[in-house]
Amino acid sequence: MPEEPVGPASGAERRASVRYPCDPESFSADNTCRPLTARRKDESWTATVRDLSTGGVGIVVNRRFEPGTLLSIELQDADRLSARTLLVRVVRLTKEGKEHWLLGCAFTTKLSEAELLALM
């Protein structure tokens, strides 16, 4: 039984941007996220992209980050030909299984449609 989401978006749908589901194979398995407060480069966690919109990204990680946490997300395409680092704020989280969390994150700067397409 999934746990209730945590964060201000709990309950009614509040997204302002269309969310596009992502095939995990569209991105590198080496995508990572790390809190901005991390002092060491090795303080990062693997992040699997679940969905994208111009306003944010849903990622699955094996560490809980509280709503309000600022994260730096490094996204690479599957061929590792292009990479992009994005700054996000965790707005909601939902436990997935025993060891993973789905983080709903808002971009600190909204993406244009062209930037979104380039990521996908």
Q: Where are the domains of the chain?
A: 20-119
**And the tokens for 118?**
């380039």
Instruction: Kindly give the pairing relationship between strand 100-107 and strand 56-61.
Output: antiparallel
pTM of the predicted structure, to 2 decimals: 0.81
In this prediction, residue 41 has a pLDDT band, given cuts at 50, 70 and 90, of confident
- The larger pLDDT score, comparing residue 47 to residue 82, is at 47
Number of H helices, E strands in the chain: 1, 8
Whether residue 45 has pLDDT greater than 80:
yes
Whether residue 67 has pLDDT greater than 70:
yes
Q: Which of 16-25, 51-60, 61-70, 106-115 has the lowest mean pLDDT?
A: 16-25
pLDDT, residue 9, reads 46
Whether residue 6 has pLDDT greater than 60:
no
Whether residue 5 has pLDDT greater than 60:
no
Q: Which of 14-28, 52-66, 106-120 has the lowest mean pLDDT?
A: 14-28
Average pLDDT, the chain: 84
If phi over 0 gives left and psi between -120 and 50 gives alpha, with beta otherwise, what is residue 37? Answer: alpha
pLDDT, residue 29, reads 83
20-119: in CATH 2.60.40.10? no
If phi over 0 gives left and psi between -120 and 50 gives alpha, with beta otherwise, what is residue 7? Answer: left
